[in-house]
Amino acid sequence: MSKIGVCIETFFSDLSYKERIQKIHSIGFTNYEFWFHNKRFDGRQLIDESKDLNMIEELNDKYGLITTDFVFNHPDGGIVGSLIDKNDRNLLIDSLGEVISIAKKLNCKKLISGSGNKISALPNEEALDNMIEILIAVSKICEKDDITILLEPFNTKVDHPDYFLDDPFTCLKVLKAVNHKNARMLFDIYHMQIMSGNITGFIKENIEYIGHFHVAGVPGRHEPGNSELNYPFILSEIYKLGYKGYIGLEYWPSMDHTESLKQTKELLERV
């Protein structure tokens, strides 16, 4: 079974989520992810709208699909709470049960956690301490249902200027302090190439802390085949390390969406 999946938010945004899932299935993908359980992305903006979980569950059963992950908390949707803000601790922990119940319904084993945006009056070390403390509590809750929380660094140079966690080494420092098997990094290769580079070097040294990958071309966040990065080489190195997880396509297609996914699938599944 292919481990390359699709983020259904950045593709076919003019279609309903039912049609998006059917589309990626028709192209030959067996797994996918989405952003928020309570937002719809129409290609331009996020709209308040809960996803039809019964429909998603039925399509997964019908087509043998896997929902690999979706977002627990983020500044833009899901649970709008910040890991670095101690005032959001109870909100995040109290909301986790509902989100885990959604994950269990969809047989989804991973949840994405954003760090939250910068807080001007909050010193970095205190922000990191808050993040560690909240993630320890979250990880213990997730462990009960065999769910992994994925902490994701973003780039602040192009896409997310206000985001706090923009460095893979800081993310690694946090995860080592959390020291829990149910807390791992979502290593978005596009974001981390922009921020720090040395992609394969970092992955080789720290693969045990990485629970999921996202890919996109750099620059522009378009097709991985149109990039300064050699993605077939990178994925080959990842697989050599024994990585058995999924790799999500989270990019903005620069051509017909079906053709874009077909070309990317062919490129990356050659590895």
CATH number for the domain spanning 132: value is: 3.20.20.150
Contacts 24+ apart (CB under 8 A), 253-259: 253/10, 253/11, 253/222, 253/223, 254/220, 254/222, 254/223, 254/226, 255/223, 257/11, 257/12, 257/23, 258/23, 258/27
- Dump pLDDT digits (tens) for 226-252: 999 999 999 999 999 999 999 999 999
Give the 3-state secondary structure of residue 119: coil
Residue 270 has a pLDDT of: 87
Geometric angle at alpha carbon 108, from 249 and 56, rounded to 5°: 80
For residues 129 and 122, what is the distance between their CA atoms, to the nearest angstrom?
11
> Which range of residues forms the domain containing residue 149?
4-268
Contacts of 245 (CB under 8 A, 6+ apart): 3, 211, 212, 213
Instruction: Kindly tell me the burial class for residue 4, based on how many C-beta atoms sit within 10 Å of its own C-beta (0-12, 13-18, 19 or more).
Output: buried
Residue 47 in contact with residue 12, Cβ under 8 Å? no
What pLDDT does residue 58 have?
98
* pLDDT value of residue 1: 45
Q: What is the pLDDT of residue 271?
A: 83
pLDDT of residue 2: 66
Question: Do the Cβ atoms of 51 and 37 come closer than 8 Å?
Answer: yes
Amino acid at 137: A
Indicate yes or no: pTM above 0.75: yes
Question: Which residues are designated catalytic?
Answer: 152, 250
Structural domain count of the chain: 1
Low-confidence stretches of the chain (pLDDT beneath 50): 1
DSSP state of 238: H
Q: Which two tokens stand for residue 255?
A: 């051509």
130-179, pLDDT tens digit by residue? 999 999 999 999 999 999 999 999 999 999 999 999 999 999 999 999 99
Q: Do residues 75 and 163 lie in contact, with contact meaning Cβ atoms separated by under 8 Å? A: yes
